[in-house]
Amino acid sequence: MHRFYFITDRKKFKKPFLDTIKEALDKGVRLIQIREKDLSDDELYDLTDKVLEVSKGYDAKIFINSRVDIAYMLGLDGVHLTSRSVPVSVVKRKFPDLIVGKSCHSVEDILKAQEEGADYVFISPIFEVEGKGKPIGIEGLKEVLEVAKVPVYALGGINNSNIEEVLKTGVYGIAGIRFFL
């Protein structure tokens, strides 16, 4: 279960935010990315601090989307960057203790992220997800895994009926929002 990476989206949660985090932890999730883009900095800081509190004793790794400063100030394990974030290479140089992940959507993205020093990558979407562009499919995932030198998490449209074929590719882990709700 340590290879499941939970990305938060509180608007989709059925229960209060921290209850959902606790539940994911109790189910065995050990990788959590806080991704709540509409919060102000102070709200995001406070919420992240509470997630740290709730996850104490679980030996989980806590990440935050894009906000390197909040990751560093609260002593999180890492930060997850996207194509709209600050550069991976600069984060790695200036914050050497942070684990840095990067969202990728192609083999080219993966090669670039690795070169810049990303510690892990997401590849998405594997399957059809509304508004997330052309899915790369299982074959596309296999091509990615051939060039990837860092852990790859498959993301996008993965559910109980297709997870088997995703795992069969040998992918390092599975990332998702709805998967753990």
Report if residue 67 touches its own copies, rule: CB under 8 A: yes
Report the candidate in 74, 73, 67, 72 with the shortest Cα–Cα distance to residue 98: 72
Total binding residues toward its own copies, as defined by CB under 8 A:
20
87 or 170: CB nearest its own copies: 87
d(CA 67, CA 52): 15
Binding mask 12-51 for its own copies (x = CB under 8 A): ----------------------------xxxx-x------
Report if residue 161 touches its own copies, rule: CB under 8 A: no
Rounded least distance, CB 2 to its own copies, Å: 28
Element (H, E) at 137: helix 137-147
1 exposure class (CB count in 10 Å sphere: 0-12, 13-18, 19+): exposed
Select the residue interacting with its own copies from 16, 87, 137, 170 (CB under 8 A): 87
Select the residue interacting with its own copies from 29, 60, 91, 126 (CB under 8 A): 91
SS3 call for 54: helix
> What separation in angstroms does the CA of 170 have from each of 91, 108, 134?
29, 20, 22
Report if residue 90 touches its own copies, rule: CB under 8 A: yes
Report if residue 123 touches its own copies, rule: CB under 8 A: no
Q: Which two tokens stand for residue 35?
A: 């991704």
Judged by the rule CB under 8 A, the positions of this chain that interact with its own copies are 40-43, 45, 66-70, 72-73, 83-87, 90-91, 94
